[in-house]
Amino acid sequence: MKMTVKILVLRSEVEARLLSGLLEQRNIPHMLKSFHDSAYDGVWQTDTSWGALYSYNEYKDDITRIYDEMSLPENLSEDV
C-alpha cells in the first residue's frame, strides 16, 4: 500500500486551492490538510502557514515544479 507524504506547506487557502486546481487538471493525486483547529479557534493557522499538501512521493518533483512555476513573480497579480 502506498503512503502519502507531506510535499509542501502552503501559505494561504487561495494558494492551496489554486495549486489543487492545477494538480487536478494534470490528474495528480493529492490531498489538502488545513492547520485550522476549531478547539484552538485557528490559533495554529497563521498567515504564513495555512496547511499542507500531501501526495505520493513519486509526484513530489512534479508538484514542486508546478508550485514553483505558479509562484513565479510574472505569474502573480498586483494587489488591487
With bands split at pLDDT 50, 70 and 90, how would you rate the model's confidence at 57?
very high
Cβ atoms of 54 and 10 within 8 Å: the answer is no
Give the residue numbers spanning the domain of 33.
Answer: 4-72
Number of structural domains (the chain) is 1
Residue 79 lies in a domain: no
- Other beta carbons within 10 angstroms of residue 72's beta carbon come to 8
The single-letter code of the amino acid at 29 is: P
Percent of the chain with pLDDT over 70: 78
Considering only 15-24, 55-64, 66-75, which range has the smallest mean pLDDT? 66-75
The enclosing domain of 39 has a CATH number of 3.30.70
Residue 32 lies in a domain: yes
What grid cell was written down for 71?
509562484
Residue 55 lies in a domain: yes
